[in-house]
Structure 1
Amino acid sequence: MLTSLAIRNIVLIEALDLSFGHGLGVLTGETGAGKSILLDALGLVLGNRADNALVRGGEEQASVTATFEFEALPRAVEEALNDAEVELEPGEPLIVRRRLKADGGSKAWINDQPVGVALLRTIAGALVELHGQHDDRGLVNPRGHRALLDRYAGADVAGVRAAWDDWQAARGALEQARSGIAQAKADQDLLLAHLSELTAIEPEDGEEERLANARADMQKGEKLAGDLEDLRALWDGSDSPLASLRVAARKLDRIAEEHALLTEALGALDRAVIEAGEAEEKLQAAAEAMQHDPQELDRIETRLFELRALARKHSCQVDDLPEVIRTLRSKLDAIEQGDADLADLEAAERKAHEVYRARAEALHASRVAAAMQLDEAVAAELAPLKLDAARFRTAVNALEEERWTAGGMDSVEFLIATNPGADFAPLNKIASGGELSRFILALKVALAEQGGAATVIFDEIDRGVGGAVASAIGERLARLASEEGQLLAVTHSPQVAARGARHYLIAKSSEGTVTKTSVALLDESGRQEEIARMLSGAEVTPEARAQADRLLEGV
């Protein structure tokens, strides 16, 4: 609920700090004293458009700070704060601040963390519900009527929403499968052509690297062919260096025992023969590896060209071509299997649709029954509020299937007819300001709504009525306040004011050319004097005070 409101430099208010509590709080004062300024200030901190005309004359900026405290933070507020990454400790008050500059522009904070004004508008509905002369939100807005009726009925909305989600998931899977199969069938001839082209070449894993290495070796062999031939000529024949070394080794072997140095020379010569032999083998192997075969080189280059051309065609690497083949075969297999899978998906979608329809129809029946009960409950509240000629109806209309949603297959709207024989129409299209507020009061009493805004404000709900009707309004406001937790009423009626648990007097004063608005929390004697003023006018008489005492004692 709203626990405090701090206003600085808003129109006629220089500095004002108000505290609020549970139950019914009433705000009274003479016409023009500045009651609307309080509501404008509260609207500013709840995200209303920033109008720099609200800044007090001669000041550079204005600000409003509202503090809310809850046993448990409203779920809508918690979710919005989480989405905006605004941190709030459990049990910590929610402090919303808005600053407005005289030259335009505004900034907002929640618990000293900068936020966008859009976030204030998002959470406003869960914090304060305002019913005024020109209110187009709250109970007047048809978009919230279905949820109100569902809460009144205790309807199984969650079950319908779950069934809707299941149906939409099955529907999406079916549509995706149909689209995929249709596209695959349209591409079937192309898939077959691509597969035939690829399988004719039969690309292998790692083939490009092997072919490229072989081609490089053959190109090197072509380049080194003359040098290799010259080297081979040196090693071949009886007069080659290697043959001479071997002859020398044999001759030295016969005399090596004659001297130690000859033995060492023989060992060195044997090693030279061995190394030379290994060199000969390496040269032979290299010549064979780099053997230049023009036909084989042409075949390798043709093969590489074909593989790389296919890779470009399929926008992949050559080594990915085998995977492309597998993918094409998988798509063609899916076309063949698609019709069987499609039948299963169609059956699942039909079943999910039937479950949703059954739950939505049960919800519709629940809404229709609850609408009849609500109409009777509201009708019982109209006569005491001087609306006995009016009629109220909760319209539950079945929607066409393409307009079904997670909320069911109905639209719900609260309608009224203010005169006998008149057609029913939306609340804000028919009722005048005072009538509209009383209709809303009757509706809220009938709904005995739980889970609405933390704070409910009625602005001049008693406009144009008095006596017994005003007493009936006051009694219902007090009863509603005990159920809702906190309700504030701006009133001109002494009967309503007498019902308040807290009474605030709004007054305007002037000093020279400076005019200020102030608000004071009244004690018992102050309440008596203010209610007496409301009864008698400018001059408070003893009779008015006595009547004020009777009103206060009567509650």
Structure 2
Amino acid sequence: MLNRIEIRDFAIIDYLGLNFETGLTVLTGETGAGKSILLDALGLCLGDRADTSMVPETAKRSEIHGIFDVSDTPRARAWLSEESLDEDDDCLIRRVVQRSGRSQAWINGRPVTRYQLEQLGARLMGIHGQHAHQALMRTDIQRRTLDGFAVHPEHLATVADLHSRWRDVNAEIESLSGGSADHQDRIDLLRYQLKELDEAAPSAEEFADLEHEQRRLASAGDIMAACQRSLEALYDGEISAQSLVASAERDLQPHLDVDAQMTEIQQLLATGQVQIDEACQALRAFADHMEMDPQRLQAVEDRLTQLHDLARKHQIEPEDLATHTERLRYELERLESADERLVTLQAEQAELLGDYRAAAEKLSASRQTAAETLGKRVGTLLGELGMAGAELIIVVEPSLEAAPSPHGADRVRFDIRTNADQRPAPLQKIASGGELSRIGLALEVATADTAELPSLIFDEADSGIGGAVAEVVGRQLRDLARHHQVICITHLPQVAAQGMNQLQVEKRQTETGRTVTDVQALSAEQRIDEIARMLGGLAITEKTLNHAREMLDQAG
């Protein structure tokens, strides 16, 4: 559910921070006070496209924060987890729109795309009215609404599993067959490539060993010269390190009994002589075994060139040639045995397709039954909502010959007949804004026990109605709030009185003459005044106040 929204520098809102409660919250206020601006800001927070015209001239950017509790929203929690955006039970959404047109979004402090924001928004709130989140228009939402009401997860799971298995088998069949000419061409190419690689016979460690040997052989002359220079400096030269250390030791010898520290120094020099002698012996042994071998160097470099050329041909690194060879060998073996594998796969494909068709028929039958029940229930509610003669026809069109899909073989479509003498037509083609809101309300009430969205917003649910019908709308909204957080923008006191919480939207002039919108949560006494204003306009009498009290008491 929505816990809080903060809006800064958006249209005629300077700053606004609102906390939302569970149950039914009604937003009231004079026409043009800015109630719809709140929905625009919330829509932006939930992934609507940015509109730079909403950034005031006095600001550089608009910023909206939405704080949601997703503890009871499994679909939103699962999506956040899949996207690595989860943060316990809280979800903080931040959206910024720059005057330059740049839009940025964050979920729980991590930057996201607008598409990701839209995906999450569709799992957090449903907005009914003339706004971007008219999800009811989408056929996939219509199908999911029907499936949710039907409560047949076992049918959906079976169909989805069979589709997934059929798709995997089908993909392997296409990979193995792919046209006989292409298939044979690929086999011929693999045979040629493997013949060339097997003749070269690269091993996993060979390239690294060859590189090391090449560096050693190429540097043999330089290494031998360095050894000779070192021996000359350490031992063989007339003035060598060994002779200098020995001379120093001899010079100190007569003075050893004068100071005890001289003995320690003399011992260090003696140790140095020993280490120099050992180093020189090791150098001589190394130099004696070091040979110049131009022929071996040429052979190593030729082999390295061969391996580099092969790797370049296959667009891999030379050290990966052995692994690549085995990968090609596996592919060739698979393709050469494709005929046998294809027979097995085609039999499996046919069996899976038959199982899928049977499961899809069961799912379709369950949908047909649920569609009739839900259509009747919604039709009854629409009559109570002032749409006498309106009828919702939920069309379930099976197409068992179509390719399998994870959702079954049905096309689900909501058709509406708003008048008894009217032909049914798809919902998005015939319903007006006010009618769509009431249809959405009726659907939400009818499916309240199974609906997935935790929060619902209704704008213009009371459009074109009044009197007793308005009170029915209010009561149905209040009933719906037993299962969901419901926020409703209304102009009717009969609807507002049913609210468990009430927010009043007002416009005012700042000292600079700028028009801004404020929103305040109303106390019990303030609610009486606001309901009275909605009943009687500016001239509020004691009779009007008593009427407002009576409406609130009856609703409570």
Instruction: Answer yes or no: same fold by TM over 0.5.
Output: yes
2:254 match: none
Distance in 2 between residues matched to 1:188 and 1:94, nearest whole Å: 54
Answer whether contact 1:134 1:433 (CA < 8 A) is retained: no
1:258 match: none
Distance in 1 between residues matched to 2:418 and 2:176, nearest whole Å: 55
1:163 match: 162
Gap change, CA 1:98 and 1:186, over 3 Å in 2: closer
Per-residue Cα deviation, 1:389-428 (whole angstroms, up to 9, x for no partner)? 2111000012263343111000101110112232211222
Alignment partner of 1:543: what SS? helix
1:409 match: 409
Deviation, 1:106, is 2.7
Deviation, 1:99, is 2.1
Answer whether contact 2:381 2:442 (CA < 8 A) is retained: yes
Answer whether contact 1:11 1:57 (CA < 8 A) is retained: no
Deviation, 1:338, is 4.8
Alignment partner of 2:362: what SS? helix
Distance in 2 between residues matched to 1:499 and 1:203, nearest whole Å: 86
Answer whether contact 2:73 2:453 (CA < 8 A) is retained: no
Gap change, CA 1:75 and 1:133, over 3 Å in 2: closer
2:217 match: none
- Structure 1 segment 239-318 matched on structure 2, within 5 A: none
1:116 match: 113
- Structure 1 segment 305-454 matched on structure 2, within 5 A: 338-399=338-399, 401-448=401-448, 450-454=450-454
Distance in 2 between residues matched to 1:447 and 1:138, nearest whole Å: 15
2:94 match: 97
Alignment partner of 1:124: what SS? helix
Alignment partner of 1:21: what SS? coil
2:491 match: 492
Gap change, CA 1:419 and 1:203, over 3 Å in 2: closer
Gap change, CA 1:185 and 1:81, over 3 Å in 2: closer
Gap change, CA 1:166 and 1:534, over 3 Å in 2: same
Per-residue Cα deviation, 1:187-224 (whole angstroms, up to 9, x for no partner)? 889999999x99xxx98989xxxxxxxxxxxxxxxxxx
| Residue 141 (1) aligns with residue 145 (2) | no
| Residue 28 (1) aligns with residue 25 (2) | no
Deviates more, 1:486-495 or 1:170-179: 170-179
Gap change, CA 1:498 and 1:170, over 3 Å in 2: same
Gap change, CA 1:504 and 1:191, over 3 Å in 2: closer
Distance in 2 between residues matched to 1:20 and 1:338, nearest whole Å: 62
Deviates more, 1:109-118 or 1:161-170: 109-118
1:50 match: 50
Deviates more, 1:6-15 or 1:20-29: 6-15
2:103 match: 106
The residue type paired with residue 167 of structure 1 is W
Distance in 2 between residues matched to 1:30 and 1:204, nearest whole Å: 85
2:16 match: 16
Answer whether contact 2:72 2:454 (CA < 8 A) is retained: no
The residue type paired with residue 170 of structure 1 is V
Distance in 2 between residues matched to 1:26 and 1:87, nearest whole Å: 30
Per-residue Cα deviation, 1:149-200 (whole angstroms, up to 9, x for no partner)? 11111122011100111112222233333338664557889999999x99xx
Alignment partner of 2:15: what SS? strand
Answer whether contact 2:71 2:77 (CA < 8 A) is retained: no
1:282 match: none
The residue type paired with residue 380 of structure 1 is T
Answer whether contact 1:77 1:123 (CA < 8 A) is retained: no
Distance in 2 between residues matched to 1:78 and 1:330, nearest whole Å: 37
Answer whether contact 2:163 2:356 (CA < 8 A) is retained: yes
Gap change, CA 1:333 and 1:460, over 3 Å in 2: closer
| Residue 128 (1) aligns with residue 143 (2) | no
1:483 match: 483
Answer whether contact 2:73 2:124 (CA < 8 A) is retained: no
Distance in 1 between residues matched to 2:177 and 2:44, nearest whole Å: 52
The residue type paired with residue 177 of structure 2 is R
Answer whether contact 2:176 2:183 (CA < 8 A) is retained: no
Distance in 1 between residues matched to 2:519 and 2:330, nearest whole Å: 82
Answer whether contact 1:80 1:119 (CA < 8 A) is retained: no
The residue type paired with residue 172 of structure 1 is A
Per-residue Cα deviation, 1:276-301 (whole angstroms, up to 9, x for no partner)? xxxxxxxxxxxxxxxxxxxxxxxxxx
Deviation, 1:356, is 0.8
Deviation, 1:73, is 5.0
Alignment partner of 2:483: what SS? helix
Gap change, CA 1:179 and 1:29, over 3 Å in 2: same
The residue type paired with residue 515 of structure 1 is T
2:524 match: 524
| Residue 505 (1) aligns with residue 504 (2) | yes
The residue type paired with residue 418 of structure 1 is T
TM-score normalised by structure 2 residue count: 0.72
The residue type paired with residue 510 of structure 1 is Q
2:209 match: none
Gap change, CA 1:158 and 1:334, over 3 Å in 2: closer
Deviates more, 1:138-147 or 1:108-117: 108-117
Deviation, 1:491, is 0.2
Matched residues, number: 441
The residue type paired with residue 506 of structure 2 is A
Alignment partner of 1:402: what SS? coil
Identity percentage over the alignment? 36
Alignment partner of 1:86: what SS? coil
The residue type paired with residue 432 of structure 2 is S
Deviation, 1:529, is 0.7
| Residue 153 (1) aligns with residue 150 (2) | yes
**CA RMSD, aligned part only?**
3.5
Answer whether contact 1:404 1:410 (CA < 8 A) is retained: no
Deviation, 1:514, is 2.2
Answer whether contact 2:48 2:132 (CA < 8 A) is retained: no
Distance in 2 between residues matched to 1:385 and 1:187, nearest whole Å: 67
2:241 match: none
Deviation, 1:107, is 2.2
Distance in 2 between residues matched to 1:120 and 1:4, nearest whole Å: 17
Distance in 2 between residues matched to 1:140 and 1:53, nearest whole Å: 27
Deviation, 1:121, is 1.4
Distance in 2 between residues matched to 1:415 and 1:81, nearest whole Å: 36
For the pair shown, the structure with the greater C-alpha radius of gyration is 1
Alignment partner of 1:461: what SS? coil
Answer whether contact 2:93 2:108 (CA < 8 A) is retained: yes
Answer whether contact 1:385 1:473 (CA < 8 A) is retained: yes
Distance in 1 between residues matched to 2:161 and 2:553, nearest whole Å: 53
The residue type paired with residue 499 of structure 1 is Q
Distance in 2 between residues matched to 1:117 and 1:204, nearest whole Å: 53
Deviates more, 1:445-454 or 1:493-502: 445-454
Distance in 1 between residues matched to 2:179 and 2:135, nearest whole Å: 46
Distance in 2 between residues matched to 1:131 and 1:376, nearest whole Å: 21
1:177 match: 176
Deviates more, 1:69-78 or 1:448-457: 69-78
Per-residue Cα deviation, 1:236-256 (whole angstroms, up to 9, x for no partner)? xxxxxxxxxxxxxxxxxxxxx
Answer whether contact 1:25 1:503 (CA < 8 A) is retained: yes
Gap change, CA 1:182 and 1:497, over 3 Å in 2: same
Gap change, CA 1:187 and 1:110, over 3 Å in 2: closer
The residue type paired with residue 450 of structure 1 is T
| Residue 68 (1) aligns with residue 64 (2) | no
The residue type paired with residue 499 of structure 2 is G
